[in-house]
Amino acid sequence: MIYDFLIIGAGSAGCNCAYVLNKAGKKVAIVDKEGICAGASGAAGAFLSPLPGKKNSYNSLVNTALEYSINFYEKLLPNSVTKKGVLRVQNDNFDKTKLKDNAIDYEYKKFEQIEGYFYKNAAIISPSEICHKLLEGCDFFLLDVSKLIYKDGIYHIKDLKAKQIILTQGVNTPIISYPYVKISPVFGVKIDIKTSTTVPFNIHKSISVSTNKKDGTVAIGATSVNHFLEGVECITTCDKCIFLIDNDEEDIKSLLSQADELINLKDLEVIKVYKGARATIKSYFPVVGKIIDYDQSIKKYPSIKNGTKIPSGLLEYYPNVYTLNALGSRGFVFGPYLAKILKENILDDMMIPKEVSLEKLFYKMARKKA
Ligand SMILES: Cc1cc2nc3c(=O)[nH]c(=O)nc-3n(C[C@H](O)[C@H](O)[C@H](O)COP(=O)(O)OP(=O)(O)OC[C@H]3O[C@@H](n4cnc5c(N)ncnc54)[C@H](O)[C@@H]3O)c2cc1C
């Protein structure tokens, strides 16, 4: 059988792409070297919260995606969504004014020893349940893909054949080169705890404490260690990765002490520690669309380096290869919304919004190299 789409990477990005394309009547296969929801997605909070602050293109994208995604998950798998809002306490980055700017459906609230702005449209979901649900109707294969073979309009990956490819590899080195998207890993730890305390809603300051999830447990997360070094490579289960083999005690201690500033969690027992690396680019914007072949495009249009813009579509692209990546710390907020945008671009020829397009980054790199 020849699949319409083969997706590489079964995290939030890949599973959401698989879902929309399958719903559009396409035959979809998805592969992952570690399993479904095993990379960063398996470690995610997964908190879905608005981003307040003076309106700009990034928080507008986040808040639009949030609205879309919460509705989407509630329809997809209501039992996996706990929507009780979030109380955001001011911190160094978000003072009271910033917390109120651009906020919708909110109120000022005092809770025990803390106070802040309470936003109603916030939730926590179960990432693994959601990813598994998204893949119903698609074929999943446990496979580590190292290269794509393209022959007579068809991609061959081991025994699998497909007309179109979507790369949703997170922080892992992409199997084809698109150097203008410079992904860096931002490592993080999240814990699940048992507690006899009822947490009425999510609480966020520098870290988040979740309300009690459907199984009664509470998530606390996440730590964040930036690695904005270009060229840092990351393989999420690599046994040589210092981050992943490091002792968790310091991270757990830090999370618990930050949680303690927000709420007194009684009879606390840490039941699981999750670790992962978020794929992030410097601007924090995610990227989505057809992958431009950098070298071939520059060869065809050398004047790009001097600032010439080529009409969209005339650049050199890898045939029928797309990506959705750099979801950063909001992979479950962006996933459904951007997968829909990618589907509409591939199947209905709709434009990718400029701020998340690959073209923007392509031109940036080309001019820098001039
Ligand atoms: C600790 C932590 C807490 C977080 N908390 C939140 C949160 O509260 N809310 C939120 O929205 N987001 C959160 N995030 C961010 C979110 O998890 C990520 O943005 C999202 O999961 C990224 O999804 P992805 O599909 O792009 O990447 P991943 O989930 O990493 O998936 C990529 C997959 O590709 C596979 N792969 C790569 N290369 C290959 C190959 N060659 N062959 C086969 N398979 C391959 C990998 O095995 C991996 O499973 C958090 C992240 C971390 C680490």
Domain extent at residue 338: 2-38+130-182+283-368
- Residue 248 and residue 138 share a domain: no
Q: Does residue 297 belong to any structural domain of this protein? A: yes
Tell me how far the alpha carbon of residue 210 lies from the centroid of ligand 1, in angstroms.
20
Reported pTM: 0.96
Q: What digits encode the pLDDT tens for the residues 25-39? A: 999 999 999 999 999
- Residue 267 and residue 219 share a domain: yes
- Residue 121 and residue 200 share a domain: yes
Which residue type occupies 189?
Answer: V
Contacts 24+ apart (CB under 8 A), 147-152: 147/175, 148/175, 148/176, 148/321, 150/319
**Last residue of one domain, picked from the residues 247, 278, 309:** 278
Number of independent structural domains in the chain: 2
238: alpha, beta or left? (left if phi > 0; alpha if psi -120 to 50): beta
Nearest CA to ligand 1 atom 35: 9
Greatest C-alpha distance within the chain: 66
Q: Does residue 193 belong to any structural domain of this protein? A: yes
- Residue 139 and residue 120 share a domain: no
Identify which has the larger pLDDT, 182 or 101: 182
**Last residue of one domain, picked from the residues 235, 253, 278:** 278
Contact of 37 with 125, CB cutoff 8 Å: no
Tell me the C-alpha distance between 42 and 173, whole Å: 19
- Residue 208 and residue 159 share a domain: no
Q: Does residue 303 belong to any structural domain of this protein? A: yes
The per-residue pLDDT for 246 is: 64
Lowest mean pLDDT segment, chosen from 3-17, 81-95, 338-352: 81-95
- Residue 332 and residue 190 share a domain: no
Q: Does residue 72 belong to any structural domain of this protein? A: no
- Percent of the chain past pLDDT 70, that is, above it, reads 94
The structure tokens 């035959």 sit at 27
- Residue 21 and residue 158 share a domain: yes
- Percent of the chain past pLDDT 90, that is, above it, reads 83
- Residue 246 and residue 113 share a domain: yes
The number of the ligand 1 atom at minimal distance from the alpha carbon of 324 is 26
CATH of the domain at 352: 3.50.50.60
**Last residue of one domain, picked from the residues 258, 278, 298:** 278
Q: Does residue 252 belong to any structural domain of this protein? A: yes
- Residue 318 and residue 214 share a domain: no
Q: Does residue 69 belong to any structural domain of this protein? A: no
Confidence of residue 241 (pLDDT cuts 50, 70, 90): low
Residues with CB under 6 A from ligand 1: 8-14, 31-34, 38-41, 43-47, 143-145, 168-170, 172, 175, 188-190, 221-222, 236, 276-279, 325, 327-333
The structure tokens 């671009």 sit at 345
Mean pLDDT, residues 275-280: 90
CATH of the domain at 211: 3.30.9.10
Q: Does residue 74 belong to any structural domain of this protein? A: no
The per-residue pLDDT for 369 is: 67
